[in-house]
Chains A and B, each alone.
Chain A
Amino acid sequence: MTTTTETSVLQARNLVKKYGNVTAINGADFDLRAGEVLAVVGDNGAGKSSLIKALAGALVPDAGEISMNGEKVNFRNTRDARAAGIETVYQDLAVIPALDIATNVFLGREVRRRGIMGTVFRRLDMPRMRAEASGHLADLKIGIKSVNQAVETLSGGQRQGVAVVRAAAFGRGVIIMDEPTAALGVKESGQVIDLIRSIRDRGIPVVLISHDMPHVFEVADRIHVHRLGKRAGVVNPRERTMSEVVALMTGAEQPSEAERAGGV
């Protein structure tokens, strides 16, 4: 159906997911290109979260296809998606407050010591994980004094920064951010927007799910408008105004033929 010639880094065709009588994803398409920030917008209940969960492996669609760099993939869980290079930063700050920053960054991907201490005694290489975590924080210009601090001692923006750093440290292919600024103040939101830019500048495409139109227009290269469980269209933020995008979200306005095809 679509005529996109450029290969997508991450692509979905005709995804369907039903929960009993409720259709969360109703034949949705999705295209993410190399090196771009793609915003996903839509009204509450439009099915954005379900779509993102399918891409992140957090739910398994009933029908449809997902492919990465042209190859079909089947994610049974988030571990599969992570193995394929897709990292997700969740809205509700998926960090463990009582654990320190370095442990949080490496959670589920801990590095063990070399030699017998690592293989037989399973000892973690905390010095190395701390050093690498500090390096990643510095790369993304997140000002945190010590990676030995518990995450609960950080501000909301810094916590989100830790979650982003974790994704950026391991996300080789795609980083998905689900409402990363929803819980944050103005200044902290600005920091997260800067983070998104610096990740894109490192060549990693970002999917940004957000309700915040000014943020979306500030950072997105293209905007995927989701409505009634599927993609209504993809628009160019330089061709459309915020109020037009809101109108597309609610169905007050119809997308153009090219936008509907997803090929802006």
Chain B
Amino acid sequence: MSSATTAGLSGSDLTRARVARILREPLLGPLAALIVAIIVFSVVSQTFLNPYNLSLILQQSVVVGILAIGQTLIILTSGIDLSIGSVAVLGTIVMAQQAGAGGPILALGATFIVCVVLGAVNGGLVTVLRLPPFIVTLGTFTAIQAATRLLAGSQTYQVPDGVLTLLGTSFRIGGFATTFGVVAMLLVYLFVWYALSQTAWGKHVYAVGGNITASKLSGIKSNRTLFSVYVVTGVIAAIAAWAALGRIPNADPNAYQTANLDTITAVVIGGTSLFGGRGSVIGTLIGTLIVGVLRNGLTQAGVDSLYQNIATGILVIVAVAVDQFARRRSA
């Protein structure tokens, strides 16, 4: 108290403004949550902080972590993608089947084409027919899931070691072993972070999500921006499919059942607003890690996975409540 009064009015005002700005920083909450979770679990479990376990958390986060980048882009445009996980699962089946028929390069190509086309279908329905993304992707999710099972014939497909399992290859940095999949995930984060924060396209994504009317009046080709976001998300789903086969070289039509919702969880916990126009992929990376740390730590502490789901669910609601609160204050 006394130090604030002696510091002079302008000085203390300045400090207060600076503190207020830091408190408004949207990454602060998620980052604090991640740090608290890491501290708590390293106290609870002796093995939590060892390099092997940390590497495991990262590897377990790869598929959802990559998909969550696409989900971030779509949520930034004030949309939502319920189909993103099922697109990636279909991608793994296509990749595995084509690997047997035409070799790994053809398989990769076919997967990218299928995922991009499905992204374009979502994007086309959202922009050309102006349907709500929630309904569009609920429909495509249902259809893609069924199509995947029809295509796979309720079988699973082993993929041969090589290009298709490349992202599962591990390497060491000092005492820390990790996989190319983790590196690929971080590279996609870096790339999309750059595109969102340093290019006009990124500004347009935020603008379209923040206020689509104002964006149009500002001369932004809002439909083109929206469509491109869905196409990019298709590419990201294909990369996730590749990473998934790296992790488990077996394409299973019933795998990653919860991936759709897990990506939304990661995005929301990472501080991106479900109302669009605000958030970042850095937040999503932190959100992905929070979920990964929480699940891993609770497992280490011997907590049943159903309780883990309850914990994750509560976290999502808290994150949305914080977002709502922040929006109401700034409005």
A95–B214 touching, CB < 8 Å: yes
Q: Mark B197-219, 1 if CB is under 8 A from A, else 0.
A: 01111011011001101111111
Is A90 an interface residue when CB atoms closer than 8 A count as contact?
yes
Question: Which B294-331 residues have C-beta < 8 A from chain A?
Answer: 330-331
Query: Secondary structure of the B side of the interface?
Result: helix
Partner of A123, one of B198, B206, B331: B198
Q: In the complex, what residue of chain B is closest to A111 when comparing beta carbons?
A: B200
Q: Does A202 contact B (CB under 8 A)?
A: no
- Given A122-B199, A122-B200, A124-B198, the answer on whether A97 and B211 have CB atoms closer than 8 Å is yes
Q: Are A88 and B217 in contact (CB under 8 A)?
A: yes
Task: State the Cβ distance, B326 to closest chain A Cβ, in Å.
Answer: 11
Interface residues on B, range: 20 to 34
Segment with Cβ contacts to B, from A19-27, A102-110, A130-138, A220-228: A102-110
Q: A108 — which chain B residues lie within 8 A by C-beta?
A: 204, 215, 218-220
Which positions 46-84 of chain A face chain B at CB distance < 8 Å?
58, 78-79, 82
Contact B207 A107, beta carbon cutoff 8 Å? yes
Q: Confirm or deny: B247 has a beta carbon within 8 angstroms of a beta carbon on chain A.
A: no
Q: Does A112 lie at the interface of the complex (its beta carbon under 8 Å from any beta carbon of B)? A: yes
Cβ-defined contact, B219 with A152, below 8 A: no
- B199 A123 Cβ-Cβ under 8 A: yes
Chain A count of residues within 8 A CB distance of the other chain: 26
Number of A-B contacts (CB under 8 A): 69
A258 proximal to B (CB < 8 A): no
B200 adjacent to A94 (CB under 8 Å): no
- Docked complex: B147-162 residues within 8 A CB-CB of A: none
Q: Any chain B CB within 8 A of the CB of A213?
A: no
A259 to B211, CA, bound (A): 41
Closest residue of chain B to A107 (Cβ to Cβ) is: B218
User: In angstroms, how far is the closest chain A Cβ from the Cβ of B327?
Assistant: 9
Specify which of B199, B206, B219 lies most central, judged by the most chain A CB atoms within 10 Å of its CB. B219
Could you tell me which residues of chain B, from 168 to 209, have a CB within 8 Å of some CB in chain A?
Answer: 194, 198-201, 203-204, 206-207
Q: Render A109-124 as a binary contact track against B, CB cut-off 8 A, 1 for contact.
A: 1101000000001111
Given A99-B206, A99-B207, A122-B201: A107 and B220 within 8 A (CB)? yes
Contact B217–A110 (Cβ < 8 Å): no
User: Within 8 Å CB of B204, what residues of A?
Assistant: 108
> Are B217 and A94 neighbours in the complex by a CB distance under 8 Å?
yes
Task: Mark A residues whose CB is within 8 Å of B.
Answer: 58, 78-79, 82, 88, 90, 92-99, 103, 107-110, 112, 121-124, 152-153
A-B contact pairs, 19 of them (CB 8 A): A58-B217, A90-B214, A92-B213, A92-B214, A94-B214, A94-B218, A97-B211, A98-B210, A99-B206, A99-B210, A107-B203, A107-B207, A107-B218, A107-B220, A110-B203, A112-B200, A122-B200, A124-B198, A124-B203
* Closest 8 pairs (CB-CB, A-B): A108-B219, A110-B200, A94-B214, A108-B218, A96-B210, A107-B218, A98-B278, A122-B199
- On B, residues with C-beta under 8 Å from A are 194, 198-201, 203-204, 206-207, 210-211, 213-220, 277-278, 330-331
